[in-house]
A and B are shown apart, each in its own frame.
Chain A
Amino acid sequence: MWRLPSQDNGAVKKIILFLLGIITLLSGHGQEPYFREHPVGEAYQDVSINQVLEASNGFLWFGSNQGLLRYDGREYEQFLAPDSLTNNQVRAIFEDIQHRIWVGYEDGRILYLEKGRELELWQLEEGLPTVPVVGFAQNPNGLMWIATYGEGLYYYNGQHLYNINNDDGLLGNDIYTLVQDKEGRAWVGTDGGISICSVQDGKKNIENITRADGLPDDIVRTLLPDKSGNFWVGTYDKGFCYYNTARQVFEFPLKDWKYGPIHTMELFDSLELWVGTEGSGLYRYQLRTGYLQSISKGRIRPATKIYDLHIDIEGNIWIINNEEGVVSANRQFESISNEVQNIQAVFSGRDGKLWVGSQEGLYYFDEASGQFHLYLQENVLSLFQCAYGNLWAGTFGNGVFCIDLKTGKQRHLTEADGLTNNSVLAMDGNDKDVWLATLGGATHVICRQNIMNAEQLEVDRFDEASGLATNFIYTVFLDSKGRTWFGTDGEGLNVLVDGKIRNFKMVNGIPLNAVYSITEDDRGHIWFSTAREGVFEWDGEQFRRLSVKEGLRDRAITSLIADGKGNILIVHPSGIDLLNPLTRHLIYYDSEIGIKNMEPNLNAVCPDGYGGAWIGAQNRLVKYTALQEKLSIHPRIVLNQVSVFLEPIDFWLKSNFSYEENNLVFQYVGLWFTDPSKVKYRYQLEGFDLDWRYSSDQQAVYSSLPPGHYSFKVAATENDAFDDEPMAIYRFVVKAPYWRQWWFIILASLLLAGGAVWAVRTREKRLEQEASLKRAMVESQYEALKSQINPHFLFNSFNTLISIIEENPGLAVEFVEKLSDFYRSILQYREKEVISLQEEIELVKNYAFLLQKRYGSSLQLVVQTDGQQGYIAPLTLQMLVENAVKHNIISKSRPLSIEILSQPEGYIMVRNTLQKKLTQEPSTGFGLHSIINRYQLLSERSLRVEEDGQYFCVCVPVIKNERT
């Protein structure tokens, strides 16, 4: 058997290998994973895809004759070069360290795509190639390799683009393939062999591997590094080979290749190499067995050209060919259908041979030919191979057939040999023991080398009498701690520890009833399935249930089996669930792997010897492979776009929104290529939603978001359980409008408070003013009144009256009339704030008349107002005249002249000659003061008082309106 090339191969082994190689060229029928097509759809009818790249965020990018396409499992989105008049034929796609997508075109152009942007032409001084760009790679220092078909290899160091071609020692300018080794060197396949290029301190270094070095063919079409750093080499004529870089030798897994040029290859680690040919379809080469199998029987048509192969993070193999376009299959599960009906037992033997028990008989499966061969015609229910290589086949009603596979010799064991019953439902065992679960209890057979010949079988019988809860035993399981577990019909779980049987009939208050299947996880926990209550886990002390509520899909579980990666496979009629015992994460597999309604049979499962399992069903055999690759068990959740009012934004840069930008749409996608239709979402806008929202849509719409801090969280699931699914989180802030910002509120309240204070103050001032005006008025009225009824004035007036009453009674009458007019005027006007100028002048004239009669020519009053209009505080002029009379000497020799004159700018002036009395009359000085005060309140203009030695003048402002 040809094993991994890194292992030491002896010469003999090589010969065997060679022979095997020839034999295995038979393209086996065998098992095949379930392929699903991914049609590009109506919109892209003429698009022919030829490249695939899985981006780090999970999206698949396809290169086509019509540009770049992005695929989320459901839909394709096209990305065209900006000036699409030119060629859009993509020849290479690559994602760099900064997650930019680089695209090489047929015409030599190179474009790149940054997140959220459009494809942009790579602008550089050196110009771009003019021949097809066929590959990219980037080494850890950031140096970018660019392979062309016609101009050799380019590299870009961040400053300049450099070229390596024929002239530098490259084996050919036409490069087919570019890959990088662990040191970051570029390996290119050309028409002349493999060139290994590196750049050190600006110096090119080229090493060549040609036919002289053992390369089977000059033309190297594809290179594929494996985990160990060695390379698989696909050639034009001579098939593929394996190059051991340490020993620098080529190893030939297959001679005599007759399927033409190899175009592409892909590798499942330690498992198999997938080989896509130029026109002879797809093959896979199994590393463990050396079998080459054609994958061109089922979905994939033969004689196709395979453009590209890719293994994604879910374990799907993607195939791009010229017939079906894009096809994928989950490599973990393969089926063989309609070969053997009603499979009841499977067992993978120590030599890797698979045995299958059905109602019709015992078969073995020849993996090379893909054929089943009938070995024994019995209704086989259970299978086991003991330490001595004998195959034990348990039948329904006919005991056990023990078969020496080397000689073909059989021994038929029955109740007569000590079996508890002739119907053997299950078997398990170890180096020295074989346990049989029968309808009459459990039989423990001690296994000896001579079992085929020994007269007496060494047997222990366990039944109801020995402590088993019932004699109907469905299954027996030997755990890693030497315990023997029994699944019973209706009586729960029984375990034999140190010769004692313990029964678990009720667990956590739940009656177990029938226990069908038992397995053990890699922590030593026992898992078992029941007829109706789901699955239970026993950690040595406690039981924990896994029911439908916890995500179990089907209660009718037929088998449990642990794989080599620590998972447990739960087999039931709805499909297969892959359980992570630690996290209890379940992945459901059914129609996407082609096993819907597969009708599995009870405990028809077995390990495949490599961590995988075989599962038998009504009319098919399913093989589960535990892939070495680290697989994602979660859909990758990508927040794709955030739009504000339907306008996409650069959300990875922007997280602050104004209060008006409050209509947001989040577009996301959960990438689960195994079965995109299973993807469901839940999302929550923290700060808005109180709970998760569940949806199958790929967008969430929020309108009229109030200002606040938000986190948009979205998770995708493929199995309806969200507990451990990763989330995409986008935090953002909708800012309050400025009128709700703290600074504005403070400012506004300050302004408001200021305004209020101002208003109150003005009002107070106004009230105060009004009050003082009133007071001044009252005071002036009082003063005027007081002065007018001054006894002195009356005395003088009466004296004047006496002096004229006889001489001139007519004048006396007039005098008395004037006096009475004067007092009436005072009484009439004192209530008013203002009176007209005419009225005041009239009043002054009356007053002057009274004075005139007393002083005669010693007092001269001139009034000259030129018809000036306006208003004046009552008694102002009168009081000024009175003051003049009061404070000045009035005599014949020094007559007092008082003038009332109109002044410009709306003033009226009272002017008298200044001839002050030597002894001042007692005065409160209130008169003038009172006038000044009143005018302050009445008018903006104030009284002007001037004294220049000759004159004493007071200018009184005339108020224009009656009310100010």
Chain B
Amino acid sequence: MPKLLLFFIFFSLLAAAGLPLKGQGLYRANQGQLSFKSDAPLELIEAVSKSLRGVIDPAKRTFAFSVPVNTFQGFNSPLQREHFNENYMETAVYQEATFSGKIIEDIDLSVPGTYSVRAKGKLNVHGIEQERIIKSTVESKENVLIVRSDFTVLLAEHNISIPRIVYQKIAEEIQVHVEATFSR
């Protein structure tokens, strides 16, 4: 289902841009990196996925990102990763985390330069969609956009419940870092 949704987003973006699927204006990223960190009093958990994909339409200032949740590596133990996938994120059901929407600032990203932008969109984690504003820096070079972003995800906002027993080991607020290079 999320995959379908993402596809739909992609498609609608393209359609909205009035461009064919191989549109020249779109920037794409297939090898972006998304890492997260849970800094709880008793344990620090870090994991990273290199399977972040995304598309940015500079003309419409729209974008879409997605990452398959089961691609995260790291953790403090294989068991922890298993718990992450099975107990908390329910990866089998909610395979992807996505963020898509529109950039608030009226900026033409195809013009080279470094921009601080705020992306307003829907963040879908664990099948729960939350509207968010995520602040990023975008470095625009010739045909390349490098996007860096830091934000937090509140587990409670995405219905990810933590058993009391591991409360001290998992932070309520997960820090996320995104770094992706888009090209057209």
How many whole Å from B57's CB to the nearest CB in chain A? 14
Contacts A125-B151, A126-B118, A127-B118; A162 near B133 (Cβ below 8 A)? yes
> By the criterion CB–CB under 8 Å, are B133 and A163 in contact?
yes
Q: Is the interface of A mostly helix, strand, loop or mixed?
A: loop
Give which listed residue, B131, B150, B151, B154, contacts A159 with CB less than 8 A.
Answer: B154
Nearest A-chain residue to B173, judged by Cβ: A159
Complex Cα–Cα for A150 and B151 (A): 24
- Determine whether B132 belongs to the interface, using a CB cutoff of 8 Å to chain A: yes
> By the criterion CB–CB under 8 Å, are B133 and A126 in contact?
yes
Complex Cα–Cα for A165 and B106 (A): 13
What are the interface flags for B130-148 relative to A under an 8 Å C-beta threshold, 1 for contact and 0 otherwise? 1111110000000000000
Contacts A126-B133, A127-B116; A163 near B104 (Cβ below 8 A)? yes
Contacts A125-B151, A125-B152, A159-B154; A130 near B105 (Cβ below 8 A)? yes
Complex Cα–Cα for A130 and B104 (A): 9
> By the criterion CB–CB under 8 Å, are B133 and A151 in contact?
no
> By the criterion CB–CB under 8 Å, are A161 and B104 in contact?
no
Complex Cα–Cα for A194 and B116 (A): 31
- Determine whether B81 belongs to the interface, using a CB cutoff of 8 Å to chain A: no
- Determine whether B120 belongs to the interface, using a CB cutoff of 8 Å to chain A: yes
How many whole Å from B119's CB to the nearest CB in chain A? 10
> By the criterion CB–CB under 8 Å, are B102 and A167 in contact?
yes
What are the interface flags for A115-142 relative to B under an 8 Å C-beta threshold, 1 for contact and 0 otherwise? 0000000000111001000000000000
Give which listed residue, A130, A150, A161, A204, contacts B133 with CB less than 8 A.
Answer: A161
* Set of chain B residues within 8 Å of A125, measured between Cβ atoms: 135, 150-152
Chain B positions 133-176 with a Cβ under 8 Å from a chain A Cβ? 133-135, 150-152, 154
How many whole Å from B154's CB to the nearest CB in chain A? 7
Nearest B-chain residue to A204, judged by Cβ: B131
Nearest A-chain residue to B131, judged by Cβ: A162
Complex Cα–Cα for A126 and B150 (A): 10
* Set of chain A residues within 8 Å of B130, measured between Cβ atoms: 202
How many whole Å from B102's CB to the nearest CB in chain A? 6
* Set of chain A residues within 8 Å of B104, measured between Cβ atoms: 130, 151, 163, 165
* Set of chain B residues within 8 Å of A161, measured between Cβ atoms: 133
How many whole Å from A90's CB to the nearest CB in chain B? 22
Complex Cα–Cα for A130 and B135 (A): 12
- Determine whether A160 belongs to the interface, using a CB cutoff of 8 Å to chain B: yes
Best-surrounded residue of A159, A160, A161, A202 (most CB of chain B within 10 A): A160
Nearest A-chain residue to B130, judged by Cβ: A202
> By the criterion CB–CB under 8 Å, are A127 and B154 in contact?
no
Count how many chain B residues have C-beta atoms less than 8 Å from C-beta atoms of the other chain: 17
Chain B positions 114-132 with a Cβ under 8 Å from a chain A Cβ? 116, 118, 120, 130-132
How many whole Å from A165's CB to the nearest CB in chain B? 7
What are the interface flags for B93-119 relative to A under an 8 Å C-beta threshold, 1 for contact and 0 otherwise? 000000000101110000000001010
* Set of chain A residues within 8 Å of B131, measured between Cβ atoms: 162, 202, 204
* Set of chain B residues within 8 Å of A202, measured between Cβ atoms: 130-131
> By the criterion CB–CB under 8 Å, are B102 and A160 in contact?
no
Complex Cα–Cα for A163 and B102 (A): 11
Contacts A159-B154, A163-B120; A127 near B133 (Cβ below 8 A)? yes
How many whole Å from B20's CB to the nearest CB in chain A? 24
Complex Cα–Cα for A130 and B103 (A): 12
Complex Cα–Cα for A150 and B152 (A): 26
Complex Cα–Cα for A160 and B157 (A): 11
How many whole Å from A414's CB to the nearest CB in chain B? 84
Nearest B-chain residue to A154, judged by Cβ: B133
Nearest B-chain residue to A159, judged by Cβ: B154
* Set of chain B residues within 8 Å of A130, measured between Cβ atoms: 104-105, 118
Complex Cα–Cα for A130 and B107 (A): 11
* Set of chain B residues within 8 Å of A160, measured between Cβ atoms: 132-133
How many whole Å from A716's CB to the nearest CB in chain B? 46
Nearest A-chain residue to B105, judged by Cβ: A130
Chain A positions 183-215 with a Cβ under 8 Å from a chain B Cβ? 202, 204
Complex Cα–Cα for A159 and B154 (A): 9
Contacts A159-B154, A163-B120, A202-B130; A127 near B102 (Cβ below 8 A)? no
Complex Cα–Cα for A764 and B116 (A): 89
* Set of chain B residues within 8 Å of A162, measured between Cβ atoms: 131-133
Contacts A159-B154, A163-B120; A126 near B135 (Cβ below 8 A)? yes
How many whole Å from A297's CB to the nearest CB in chain B? 45
Give which listed residue, A126, A151, A159, A165, contacts B134 with CB less than 8 A.
Answer: A126
Nearest A-chain residue to B175, judged by Cβ: A125
* Set of chain A residues within 8 Å of B135, measured between Cβ atoms: 125-127
* Set of chain B residues within 8 Å of A150, measured between Cβ atoms: 106
How many whole Å from A125's CB to the nearest CB in chain B? 6
How many whole Å from A422's CB to the nearest CB in chain B? 83
Q: Can you report 12 residue pairs joining A to B where beta carbons are below 8 Å apart? A: A125-B135, A125-B151, A126-B135, A130-B104, A130-B105, A130-B118, A160-B132, A162-B131, A162-B133, A163-B120, A167-B120, A204-B131
Closest 3 A/B residue pairs (Cβ)? A127-B135, A126-B133, A163-B120
Q: Give chain B's interface residues, CB within 8 Å of chain A.
A: 102, 104-106, 116, 118, 120, 130-135, 150-152, 154
Starting from the known contacts A165-B104, A202-B131, 11 additional A-B residue pairs (CB-CB under 8 Å) come to A125-B135, A125-B152, A126-B132, A127-B116, A127-B118, A127-B133, A151-B104, A159-B154, A160-B133, A167-B102, A167-B120
Q: Give chain A's interface residues, CB within 8 Å of chain B.
A: 125-127, 130, 150-151, 159-163, 165, 167, 202, 204
